[in-house]
Amino acid sequence: MKHFTLSDIQQMDRKFRMNFVQSLPGFKTANLIGTKDLKGQENLAIFSSVMHIGSEPPLLAIKMRPVHVARHTWENIQETGFFTLNYIQPSMLPNAHQTSANFEKPISEFDACGLTPRYSSDFFAPYVAESTVQIGLKLAETHTITANGVILLIGEVQEVWMEETGLAEDGHLDMEKLNALAISGPDRYHTTQFFKELPYGKLM
C-alpha cells in the first residue's frame, strides 16, 4: 500500500493536492445550482458537494466557498432565500461544466452555456429544463467551518420535479433511468450500473 502522511499531503503541488484531497470522499453527484437576484438576473453554477441531512423535514447540505464563481450564487441565496439543484446528464456536458467559468453580470450562465431556465408557478428560483431531476430549496440555516471559512448551507426541500420513469416503486430514485452522472475529484465524470440493493443490516 502507498502511504501519505499529513506532511506529505501538505507538501504536494497545489493542483495535485486539490485532485488528491477532493478525490478522498469518493463519488458525489454533478448538480447545477440555479438562483436569481431580486432584479431578475439569473445565475447558474456547477456544484458537486451535496449531502443528505434529514428526511423529516427533508434537508440537504451544500458546501459553498463564497469566492470566485460561487459568489453570485451565494449572494443570490442570501438575498432571496431560494435556490434549485438540477442533475447534470451526459447530454448536458460540456455545457454544464462551463458554468464554472467566471462570468460577470449581466451575463447569465443559462445563455452562455446554452441551457434553458424553467419556472415553476410556486417557486422563485429558476430550474434547468434539461435536467431529469429538479429540486427547489429554501435556505434553512448556515454553518461556517472554523478551520477554513467554508459555509455549509442547509436547505429545506420545497418541491421536486422529476422524470416519471425515474421513480422506483419503493421511493428510490432510479439513477440509471435518470441518466445521473457521478463525479469524483474536481472534474472526473462517471456513468454507473446498478449493482446490488441490500436491506438494512440485521443481526446475524
Distance CA 31, CA 61 (A): 13
Of 39 and 197, which has the nearer Cβ to a copy of itself? 197
Compute the least distance from the CB of residue 106 to a copy of itself, in Å.
Answer: 15
- Identity (one letter) of the amino acid at 186? P
Q: Which is nearer to a copy of itself, 41 or 161 (CB)?
A: 161
Closest approach, Cβ 37 to a copy of itself, in A, equals: 21
Residue 81: CB minimum distance to a copy of itself, A = 14
Q: Which is nearer to a copy of itself, 35 or 155 (CB)?
A: 155
Maximum pairwise Cα distance, the chain: 60
- Residue closer to a copy of itself by CB (options 38, 57) is 57
CA distance 90 to 191: 9
Of 125, 118, 163, residue with least CA distance to 38: 125
Which residue shows C-alpha cell 439543484? 85
Q: How far is the CB of 76 from a copy of itself (least distance, A)?
A: 19
CB 158 → a copy of itself: shortest distance, Å?
5
**152 phi/psi in degrees, rounded to 5:** -100, 120
What are the backbone angles phi and psi of residue 75, rounded to the nearest 5°? Answer: -60, -45
Give the integer Cα–Cα distance in Å for 174 and 152: 27
Give 40 or 194: the residue with its C-beta nearer to a copy of itself. 194
